[in-house]
A and B are shown apart, each in its own frame.
Chain A
Amino acid sequence: MLGPRTLFAKVFDAHTILTRDDGQALLYVDLHLCHEGSFHAFNALRAAGRKVRRPDRTIGVADHYAPTDARSTAAIGNDEIRGIIETFRTNMRANALRHFDLDDPRQGIVHVVGPEQGLTRPGMLIVCGDSHTSTHGALGALAFGIGASEVAHVLATQALWQARPKVMRVELSGLLAPPVTAKDAALALIARKIGTGGAAGHAIEFVGEAVSAMSVEQRLTLCNMAIEAGARCGMVAPDATTRAYLAERGVAWQAAWDALVTDDSATFDAGTALDVSELPPMITWGTSPEEAAPVNEGVPQPDATRDPAAARRSLDYMGLAAGTPFADVTVDRVFIGSCTNSRIEDLRAAAAVLRGRKARVSAMVSPGSTGVKRQAEREGLDRLFIEAGFAWRESGCSLCVAMNGDVAAPGERVASTSNRNFPGRQGRLARTHLMSPASAAAAAITGRLADVREFA
């Protein structure tokens, strides 16, 4: 008889086909999402003479290389970028896989599309060759990123070997005070509690008053950032909020989903808690998501950080002096987009700050999906962005990963709603400051790292 179990354990167990003597479980994959980067896996499959075993359980979408200034491959000037999208299309068609091409109204960033299209559901096991697959856990799915070899394995077998991760309980107590968001909470958690590697080998379950009060979109942002703490995945137990979100997408609630909660006496392997009620907006100052500080504190002294040697290197790369107030740091560019923060609520929050104001620096919005873009246009948000001087682009991963031609110049300082501030992430020698969409909007209108609470 099974004892009390965590949400994670329930979903993991329900997908375990068999467990080997060494503890590795063969897990059944309900849904495999893929993007253009899957070409290595399709090459491997072809080289081995293997076929896609369950074409009905893979869905593709072009996002990593999707141009944000056009919706056709013909319009892509770079031969390699055009080629990789064409290869993706060929692989999808050759294997009879459902896919959302550039001109499909369902196109978007894979981690925005899954929930938006009602593909991501509670209790599912979802994988994708992308580390931010953790996003889908916001709906109570067990979702994690895999590499190309594992993608090939899933295509060939619809299953995957995994060691059972440990489970970490992360409680966010208190309520976030708008305009502070899940993004700020995630950055604070990583900076103050977990660190970039602290959750390695763990699945995180997010609980607490703040999480219960969050919309599904905020939970998606929170789970998206779980990987930045090193976690395999992040999860939130599905509840009435989830149910309403699914209903809006025509997904009927299943009775079995009521059981997708951690049992009262279930135990976790690790845990941490953060009271978010007094949390200010957070901004990163370094080159790792753990190098973040409250907007009112500014750039810290390296010796006061988790890793002083790393902090000194980061400040050198970022061109920042210790002790500098954030308000003294000028930015060159603003990017609102990515699987972390590009959904309709994100765009609403940024647009609210921009209303009646002008961006002082180059700024762009890449909505998370074509669906989000159309919704924003129905609400007139596009006008607010355009009137503020933002470029209103098409959907894709864009400047988060800088693969599609959207790229920051060497030395450029970018206020970005994305998830990684690694050196060179947004372009060679580009300097990234991670923040929420509202904070990015505040940076646009001030041309500096700004406290959005002054504009709310």
Chain B
Amino acid sequence: MPDPLVQVSGKAVPLALANVDTDQIIPARFLKRPRDARYATYAFHDLRFDEHGAPRPDFVLNDPRFAGVPIMVADRNFGVGSSREAAVYALAALGISCVIAESFGDIFFSNALKNFLLPVRLPPETVGELRALAEAGVPMTVDLERQVVRAGNREHPFTIPAFARTCLLEGLDEIGITEKHLPEIEAFEAATGRA
């Protein structure tokens, strides 16, 4: 059983880049590796490190103020492109439990939920405001129970699909839930000539 995810609190790293595709989140050459702690190094690898492996000082994830923070405030269209779930593994290995953005790639959004990484969609102006707060080092709380982001002295409501929310809050295994529907799946197969 996965650990429940009820709320995420702490500082946030602002990533003011639109269309961050999953190739940026984890370059393809790392995908053959089994999932382990090294995924923290693969995360945003080519943005974080130069050709010689030295950290690029101007990339926000190399800013010591944001080391190990649990929240990322991105821009629009985060996680577009390839279906690689390793993009979520890489973010998780970095210690990110929640990404806030204007919009997400559909497959990334789904992959994130299945891995207990909370993708929060908020309007552009709110995301911009939160990025500014993140930049200023203001901590925030993403409360999945109430579906609000609290930052500064404001609350911003968001929604997560109801069933996914329940799975996160209770730490439920989705395959286990679906297996309870096996009789219906079998009946469907029988009724439609797929048995």
Residues of A within 8 A of B (CB): 17-18, 20-22, 24, 26, 28, 30, 37, 39-40, 43, 48, 50, 65, 80-81, 83-84, 129-131, 145-150, 152-153, 156-159, 161, 163, 165, 196-197, 200-201, 227, 230, 232, 288, 307, 309-310, 313, 401-403, 407, 410, 420, 422-425, 428-429
Contact = CB atoms under 8 A, between A and B. Distances in A.
A253 B62 CA distance: 58
B179 interface: yes
A424 B83 contact: no
Interface string B71-84: 00000110011111
B106 interface: yes
B19 interface: yes
Interface string B151-163: 0000000000111
Across the A-B interface, give the 4 residue pairs with the lowest CB-CB distance, nearest first.
A147-B111, A149-B114, A22-B162, A147-B85
Contacts of B141: none
Nearest to A153: B175
Given A131-B81, A147-B88, A200-B77, 5 more contacts: A146-B110, A148-B86, A159-B178, A197-B76, A230-B106
Contact of A17 (B18, B106, B184): B184
Contacts of A48: 173, 175
A149 B85 contact: yes
Contact of A157 (B34, B82, B115, B185): B185
Contact of B77 (A148, A150, A230, A401): A230
Given A152-B175, A197-B77, A288-B19, A163 B161 contact: yes
B105 interface: yes
A153 B162 contact: no
Contact residue range for chain B? 35 or more
B115 A149 contact: yes
Given A149-B85, A149-B111, A153-B175, A18 B181 contact: yes
A424 B24 contact: yes
Contacts of A307: 18-19
A161 B85 contact: no
Contacts of B161: 22, 24, 163
B23 A425 contact: yes
B21 A150 contact: no
A157 B18 CA distance: 36
A28 B188 contact: yes
B46 A428 contact: yes
Contacts of B188: 17, 28
A145 B179 CA distance: 22
Nearest to A84: B32
A161 B31 contact: no
Contacts of B107: 131, 145-147
Interface string B13-47: 00001110101100111011111000000000010
B174 interface: yes
Given A26-B181, A423-B46, A147 B23 contact: no
A230 B108 CA distance: 11
B90 to A, nearest CB: 13
B32 A232 contact: no
B189 interface: yes
A130 B107 CA distance: 10
B33 A80 contact: yes
Given A37-B84, A40-B35, A24 B24 contact: no
Contacts of A131: 81-83, 107
